[in-house]
A and B are shown apart, each in its own frame.
Chain A
Amino acid sequence: MNAIEFTLLVWVASFLAGLLGALTGLGGAAILVPVLTLWFHVHIHYAAGAALVSVIATSSGAAAAYVKEGYTNIRIGMFLEIATTIGAVIGAYLATKTPVEGIAIILAVVLLYSGYVSGRSQPEHPVGVRPDPLAGVLRMHGSYPTPEGPRSYLVSSVSKGFGLMFGAGTLSGLLGIGSGAVKVLALDQAMKLPFKVSTTTSNFMIGVTAAASAGVYLRRGYIDPSLAMPVMLGVVAGSFLGAKLLARAKTQWLRRVFAVVIITMALELIFNALTGRL
């Protein structure tokens, strides 16, 4: 396979990952790392480097739309980015010390968790939230648009959310993914944000988190331009189309399919790691 053929195939795979990622809200990068390592025999460090830069592109592209719609809570996002960016820099350094098999197995666990999360249904608006006084001091309580007009919400457990976000950032830096599933866990399970606020705020933070580890990846030579080029362009085109189709697509069905794909990939990663085939 010459470079043109390789580039085109990687572009197509990345396009599909970006498309499915946007349609299911799970992000394409988590699946790109296993696709590149298992199907294209790319070293996991190069795969993580290419996926990481495309995470920045999809997060920024989608955030551009969400921020304007008024769902994103910029204060919460900004505050928690202290935790995610510090975690991301540490995670990126850990990636250089962790054996490839270890990275693959941690990635597989995160994929399994993401697949599990995507199968659950979420309540739109949590009830009986006990507000955290710290959230008041930090002016985090907010409101978001609904068809019946703006609806306000209260924010709970800021320090627990901050701790979980540090973990999400570390995983993002270690694996080259957005770790949106862990971020959403912190935002809607711990801090009790409404579903739309937590997903859009999580997405808003993903790009900044990935940018924190990208510098470390660049200096360690993880970002190969000839590989990152088709990955980034494919993911951007795919997620752009996905965002356009989102209103018409049957996302419930797609999420189930994507969950199955993710779980299969995770098991294959574990198998290859344990049998030394990476």
Chain B
Amino acid sequence: MSFNWTDEKTEHVIGNLLRAGVLISAFVVLAGGIYYLAQHGTGHKDYHEFHGQPQYLCTVSGVVASALKHDSHGIIQVGLLLLVLTPIARVFFSAISFGLEKDFTYVAVSLIVLAVLIYGLLGS
């Protein structure tokens, strides 16, 4: 297996992964958005004051649980989380593909980036 072949193959898979992630998340956000407007479309919402979000929309587990209960805000938030997961999946895949190339320096680099991303998402 030549080095170039693996690199090009990697680039193709990464490209498809990124595109699929964006499309799937946009679809979920759109579905949640239509549902939200059907429920709350004639209401008024002010974004001028910052109040944060209700607690259930601020954690990964809370977002998933509320979407399963058909909460429109939760469904949109799941779509946005899928979007956040797309580059994270990309880094994970890079770690594997560098491993297949036996380029262990870059396996380590990818894993450091992955660790920072997971820390950012889940917190301490």
Contacts and interface: CB of A to CB of B under 8 A. Distances in A.
Interface in B1-33: 7-8, 10-12, 14-16, 18-19, 21-22, 25-26, 29-30, 32-33
B110 A4 contact: no
Contacts of B10: 74
Contacts of A223: 53, 57, 77, 80
B19 A67 contact: no
A222 B80 CA distance: 13
Contacts of A4: 37, 41-42
A208 B90 contact: yes
Contacts, number: 202
Chain B binding surface SS class: helix
A49 to B, nearest CB: 9
Contact of A57 (B26, B44, B76): B26
Nearest to B20: A64
Contacts of A74: 7, 10-11, 14, 94
Interface residues of A, number: 63
Nearest to A1: B44
B109 A232 contact: no
Interface string B68-91: 000011101100110111111011
Chief secondary structure at chain A's binding surface? helix
A249 B51 CA distance: 42
Interface residues of B, number: 68
A85 B116 contact: yes
B44 A2 contact: yes
A212 B22 contact: no
Interface in A70-109: 70, 72, 74-75, 78-79, 81-82, 85-86, 88-89, 92
Contact of A92 (B14, B76, B120): B120
26 contacts: A3-B41, A3-B42, A7-B37, A43-B47, A43-B50, A60-B18, A60-B87, A60-B90, A61-B22, A63-B14, A64-B14, A64-B18, A65-B15, A74-B94, A75-B106, A78-B110, A85-B117, A138-B105, A139-B103, A208-B117, A211-B84, A214-B84, A219-B58, A221-B51, A223-B77, A226-B76
Given A3-B36, A42-B48, A67-B18, 18 more contacts: A3-B37, A7-B37, A40-B47, A41-B48, A56-B84, A57-B22, A60-B19, A74-B94, A82-B112, A85-B117, A88-B120, A212-B117, A221-B53, A223-B80, A228-B29, A229-B30, A232-B83, A233-B33
Interface of A: 1-4, 6-7, 40-43, 45-46, 53, 56-57, 59-61, 63-65, 67-68, 70, 72, 74-75, 78-79, 81-82, 85-86, 88-89, 92, 138-139, 207-208, 210-216, 218-230, 232-233, 236
